[in-house]
Amino acid sequence: MRPDWPIELEIGPGRGGFLFERLAAVPQLCMLGFEIRRKWATIVDNKLKASGFGQRSRVFYEDARSALPRVPAASLARVYIHFPDPWWKKRHEKRLVVNPTLLPELVRVLVPGGELFVQTDVEDRAAEYEAAIDACPGLVAAAPAGPRLAENPFLARSPREHRAIKDGLPIHRLLYRKA
Ligand SMILES: C[S@@+](CC[C@H](N)C(=O)[O-])C[C@H]1O[C@@H](n2cnc3c(N)ncnc32)[C@H](O)[C@@H]1O
């Protein structure tokens, strides 16, 4: 990791496509991933090394909810959460990544002016995330018109995002900034 380069975090990178595309698009950038599935954390971490990105990226087998409190304050330039929370039953609510406990931790780890980007193809989920983030002190919509974005401006797409585009599904994108 280069100490003078910004560090971004992806929560739940899965098969890691976003990390590879983003690292290729922005050379002076370091990236971390916290992935709760050990298999994919290991595969993607090894593939990053094999692809020459190992000096500026790692994926750790971690539950983001327990790993974030161990991340230094004001250390991350941006946090991405792409297509999280594929659980719909009430009894699975405790698994949700975007939740009122995680959000203050995200505020803590972002640098001032740092950003939180969340996207999903489920409109109800997007509305829930928007309400939860709007209610979280320290995060404001990145644009005066509000947090919703029509496009992903980060020169990289997650595997689920590629699939949603191919399938013609609407994608709901939210961008917030640390005040
Ligand atoms: C629906 S998949 C989306 C994968 C990828 N972000 C994409 O858009 O293609 C959600 C991912 O989040 C991971 N995940 C779920 N809960 C997590 C948590 N608490 N901490 C870290 N990763 C988590 C899952 O293992 C899975 O890889």
pLDDT recorded at residue 88: 64
How many Å lie between the centroid of ligand 1 and the Cα of residue 108?
A: 21
Q: Is-catalytic flag, 63?
A: no
Among 137, 84, 83, 128, which residue's Cα sits nearest to residue 107? 137
From 4, 45, 63, 85, the catalytic residue: 85
Please work out whether the CB of residue 13 comes within 6 Å of at least one atom of ligand 1: yes
pLDDT at 100 over 70: yes
| pLDDT band at residue 156 under the 50/70/90 scheme | very high
**pLDDT tens digit sequence for 26-63:** 999 999 999 999 999 999 999 999 999 999 999 999 99
pLDDT at 94 over 80: no
pLDDT recorded at residue 150: 97
* Spatial contact of 19 and 44, defined as CB atoms under 8 Å apart: yes
Q: Tokens representing 80?
A: 């991405």
Q: Tokens representing 146?
A: 């509000």
Percent of the chain with pLDDT over 90: 87
pLDDT recorded at residue 163: 97
| pLDDT band at residue 91 under the 50/70/90 scheme | low
* Spatial contact of 48 and 59, defined as CB atoms under 8 Å apart: yes
Protein residue whose Cα sits closest to atom 10 of ligand 1: 84
**pTM listed for this prediction:** 0.96
pLDDT recorded at residue 3: 77
pLDDT at 89 over 90: no
pLDDT recorded at residue 90: 67
pLDDT recorded at residue 85: 74
Alpha-carbon span 7 to 74, nearest angstrom = 11
